[in-house]
Amino acid sequence: MILHLESALLLHRLKDQQIKQDEDQVFGTSLLRHSQEDVKAVKALGVDSYRFSISWTRILPKGTLSGGINQEGIDHYNNLIDELIKNGITPYVTILHFDPPQALTVKYGGFLDRSFVDDFKDYSELCFKIYGDRVKNWITINEPFIIAKMGYDLGVAPPGRCSIPGGHFHYCTAGNSSTEPYIVVHNLLLAHATVVKLYREKFQTKQGGQIGWSLVGSYVEPYSNSSEDKAAAKRILDFELGWFMEPIVYGHYPKSMRRLVRKRLPRFTKEEKKLIKGSFDFIGINYYTSRYGRNIPARLDMPNFYRYDPLASSERKNVNGVPIGPQADGSMFILSYPQGLKKLLKFMKRKYQSPKIYISENGITEAKDDKRGLDVALKDPHRIECILRHLYMIKQAIKKGVNVKGYFHWALFDDFEWGEGYIPRYGLYYVDYNDNLKRIPKESAKWLPKFLKGEDAIHVKA
């Protein structure tokens, strides 16, 4: 992750309330200074592809073409792409990953305004023009669900908007959790589809690439065997995954959302339906965990906020008090449930016309603990087990006809996580934050190339 001034300012403003630990310095893992070294680290794993993100303000500091370009930023990504290709590694590039220009938020409200669609189109076109001769795999937006829910319903991520009262940590200064999440997603859908249309019309035939986006993929099991909880689990899937998949597959929002949200849910015009339907070549799924869906009876005093609209709650334990999976060390939200990935993939095949799918994120954590010796910190058998069990579930899904084309592990290096700071370590490589961000391979990084060569085959059962 590369954090830049436009994002870092907001990180600093909300730091004390939103980020675990008192991190005075937010420097990610500094790919900018370590790019050649990091490409060597990718190559050492024996993988053939690498996913990374372009920071919008690194190439357009003011967020718009009229605001001027930053040639140094453009050169950085050119050099990274060239270095990857020179080493036989295919780049998969995300255009927007949680870091829109702060200037556009100040100018017109960012995601809340339709002007965002045009500015995102201009930025994306610049990326296609500069990098598209070598980049053949594009992800428009990463996890639009998180952008909307965390930034505009709970208010725990930029721009920190939510209803008053009702803010998750009671510090939002503005916002409307009843309408803004839906407006934001509507504009993100239109922005995504507009960029896909642009790419297909001006670049795809000549450059020979493909384009899609990456979505949060958590499966939802019923909290109990009751018909109410079974229906609640389906509603949560509608309000999280279906919110994005149904428009791009069928041209409309899920029926349950239209029924429950009603007039607060924006409507697509005929032209917009035509634009969004079919606006993908593939879908990226970011899978870490699953939950139980529990029915919540409607109440007259229940606020009309996004978080309450499904009339369902996400639970970590079922009616019998059994967790859906073991808690990952260092993570607030990961309960390991690999079989949920297989169920989710089969669900997508059945529900959304068997799309081409990449697992664009999957991984597990251990807690940052500087008191442990390095020898202990580099031992991560739980990560090897996580990779194996999820790959096994993907294999089982493929046998059932699911069109899965690739798997990306999160993350290459220990990194800075929004909301959790440096507490969780996701990396195949250990990052020493006290020694110039030195990268050191963990056991998983040494194991993976052997596994890919078939030298360390392990048979895993569900």
Which residues are annotated as catalytic? 143, 361
CA separation for the pair 215, 293 (Å, rounded): 19
CA separation for the pair 231, 136 (Å, rounded): 40
Residue with tokens 């909307």: 148
Contact predicate 229/287, CB 8 Å: no
CA separation for the pair 7, 340 (Å, rounded): 34
For 376, residues 6+ apart whose C-beta sits below 8 A from its C-beta are: none
> Which two structure tokens, joined as six digits, stand for 11?
């990180």
| Per-position DSSP letters for 360-412, written without gaps between them | EE----EE--TTS-HHHHT--HHHHHHHHHHHHHHHHHHHTT--EEEE--S-S
Where b means 16+ CB within 10 Å and e means fewer, 233-262 reads bbbbbbbbbbbbbbbbbbbebbebbeebbe
Nearest-5° Cα angle at 448, 447 to 450: 70
Contact predicate 133/205, CB 8 Å: no
Which element (helix H / strand E) includes 424?
strand 424-425
**Closest by CA position to 415, among listed 80, 101, 31, 93:** 31
Distance of CA 127 to the CA centre of its chain: 20
Phi-psi region of 336 (alpha: psi -120 to 50; beta: other; left: phi over 0): beta
